[in-house]
Chains A and B, each alone.
Chain A
Amino acid sequence: MRAGMTSSAGRNILFIATIAFFATPIVWLLLAPTKSTNQLSYLNPLAFGSLSQLGTTANNLLSYQNGIIWAWFFNSVWYTLVSVSIALVASIPAGYALAKFRFRGNTVILFVTLLTMIVPAAALILPLYLEMSAVGMVNTPWSVILPGTFYPFGVYMIYLFAKNAIPDSIIEAARLDGASEFGILMRIFVPLARPAIIMIAFFAIVGSWNSFFLPFIMLTSANLQTLQTGLQALVSATGALGGGNLSNIAIHAPEVAFATLLSILPILLVFLFAQKYLAAGQAAGAEKG
């Protein structure tokens, strides 16, 4: 009995310690914009600063260059939306076709799809830049959007789902009922694959939203920057996260913390919306149908 209680207490302590370990930085981040730079140093790390300081922090960030952060935010949103939409439109039929149709080159295409997933993104930067430059798209939104539509992970996940979770008999039955191949894809496969589609869409959104190096290399105009690259330029110019801020720009550690929260908020909202599908999507294809 005593051994059981000890074991249970040990588990609880481990559980609480784990929660505290992972939650503390998040709580600190949430509280950081309520403090001044010096308060971040001398106040209790988990103490609340003040609402007026939060207002000052928000105002400093949002008024920088007449609110250019909103342009960066909007750019991130539309680059992500367009990029993910095209990626889904391309990867869903591709994955479905690889799983349900036998054609010459099927295996090779699947193999190449898998291969491209392991190529480091950095290795493609130079050829991508040269490609975009050749068609005059450098420093345009399309230089960020188009490379982002290449999504082999999505193709492979749809392939797995279609192969393992959708029985061929359903598709055969639809064909016997006279449905077209496009109709089968749209009216039968897509509704059934919704959890998997939402899952790959979620990961595509996260990848596109957090993309840094591609827009960093492709874009130079200030008003074309994404939230990630714009904030990085701002932080490096002000030394807000190390070194001194030798400018008159009122961007310091609290403003950077606020910007960080602002940049993860959309992803958090998407996650809350998609979480039940994510759980279902992860299990999709785990069992053969």
Chain B
Amino acid sequence: MRTSKAAIAIAIGAFLAVGTVGCAASSGGTPASDPKAPITVWVDAARLPQAQAYAKAHPDVTIKIDVISGAQNANTQKISLAKKAGTPLPDVVFLGSPDEIANLTANPLNFPLALNTVVPKKVIDSFPQGVLARCSYGGQVYCLGNDVGQTVLFYNKPLFDQWGYAVPKTFAEFEQLGAKLAAEHPGYNLGTVNGRYGVDAFFESSGCPILDTTSDTAVKINVSSSKCTRVGDVIGPMIKNGSLSTLDLFDKTYDQQVAQGKVVAMVGASWIGDFAFKPMTTNAGTSFDSTGKYAVAPMPTWSGESTNWSGSVGGGIWVVSRTTKNSKAAVAFAQDMTTSPTIAKAQTTYPAYGPSADIWLNAKATDPWYAADPSSVLKAAASKINPAEGYTRYVTQMLDSFNNTVIKNGATDMSSALTQWGQQTADAAKSAGYTVSK
């Protein structure tokens, strides 16, 4: 069954690849706005209650809500088929896998509406630049951020105090701390660099050009850049001495290490406290209670940088169709999903929209799970997400390649591993229809 599904996915993937290669998207004309036209919105299961609440509160607009799988490219497959068949497309789509927008913006789908033309500038400017930059091409903004996983440094404050460790302010200090930890307390670690936790938290915060989109069909990939090699210089020795794990954050073995309090610190997304550390240490059959243990510190700064840039792990986006017949209602829906104070209060992860984030942080400031109020650090990190990276059609292959090169061989020969990673990623990007340059 799995093989069959994989074969189907490959077949559809190939179909999409052929269909989306080649031409840049146009910025689109003036959207149609028939105030009586119904709108169809596609959401995932988690977004369904807020979409239903919006529909209930706006009886003047006919809103049809469909629940679409959050699986990678599920929306693209359905939109691609509907477009070929000439059936109506959805008016608003939530993308839990935001890299899908790289398929949707490219021809022949050419799906999203440029939102900077219809959403007030004040609203657009209230999203972190690093969030909207990822879905911007040719000066047009094609998404509104739902939530964001800006990276910060989580650390076990009582343990740091007990062992006399200082919170690292630079990645050089982070590496030194790793060496010290490995020597003094083997078995403990400073987090994981597997997959997106390594790429997004370390390479992306450093601005390593691996997903550096210059248009929806052009990308810069250059792993020999100092912005990439300086990351390798830090994580290579740390993987070797065991102070950085190469396991996935949600791997059951790593889960056990979290549950036993072996994770002394981690450069990770804003959500790892609530959705990794908390659940992994609750009723986990160990004596370690994480409540009041972890504090949040600003991202360490990479050598040669004056700003302590953050990366971003996860976060969904909202997209409006340029074919909508009722753009006013569709845009209003997408805008409300990202800016509503009510939704902000119920949001589980850090809201991308600035004023919503402030509401969300009010509750987080008094959360007893944190050793100290994390709000100011989280807020500052959201505004410092490195805007160097974009959403692409080859992100899955890039992450697979990362694990097969940097994670697998980085401890012994980081330079060679980085070269292989860059080459394999460039090949994947070309296959996905990108022009690759350095």
Contact = CB atoms under 8 A, between A and B. Distances in A.
Contact of B44 (A130, A237, A245): A237
A236 B11 contact: no
B414 to A, nearest CB: 27
Contacts of B48: 65, 222
B5 A38 contact: no
A245 B45 contact: no
Interface residues of A, number: 43
Interface in B97-111: none
Interface string B23-51: 00000000000000000001011101000
Contact of B78 (A39, A217, A245): A217
A19 interface: no
Contacts of B46: 237-238, 246-249
B44 A236 contact: yes
Contacts of B86: 133
A217 B15 CA distance: 14
Contact of A213 (B8, B44, B67, B286): B8
A39 B348 CA distance: 24
Contacts of B216: none
A74 interface: no
Interface in A212-240: 212-213, 216-217, 220-222, 225, 229, 232-234, 236-238
Given A42-B256, A129-B81, A247-B46, A222 B11 contact: no
Given A122-B11, A244-B250, A247-B348, A38 B69 contact: no
A126 interface: yes
A61 to B, nearest CB: 13
A258 B46 CA distance: 20
Nearest to A212: B5
Nearest to A134: B85
Contact of B67 (A222, A243, A248): A222
A69 to B, nearest CB: 12
Given A38-B283, A123-B11, A210-B1, A217 B275 contact: no
Contact of A248 (B44, B259, B348): B348
A38 B349 contact: no
Interface string A108-125: 000000000000111101
Contacts of B346: 248
Given A38-B284, A216-B69, A237-B70, A246 B314 contact: yes
Given A210-B1, A233-B44, A244 B85 contact: no
A80 interface: no
Interface of A: 36-39, 41-43, 65, 120-123, 125-126, 129-130, 133-134, 138, 210, 212-213, 216-217, 220-222, 225, 229, 232-234, 236-238, 242-249
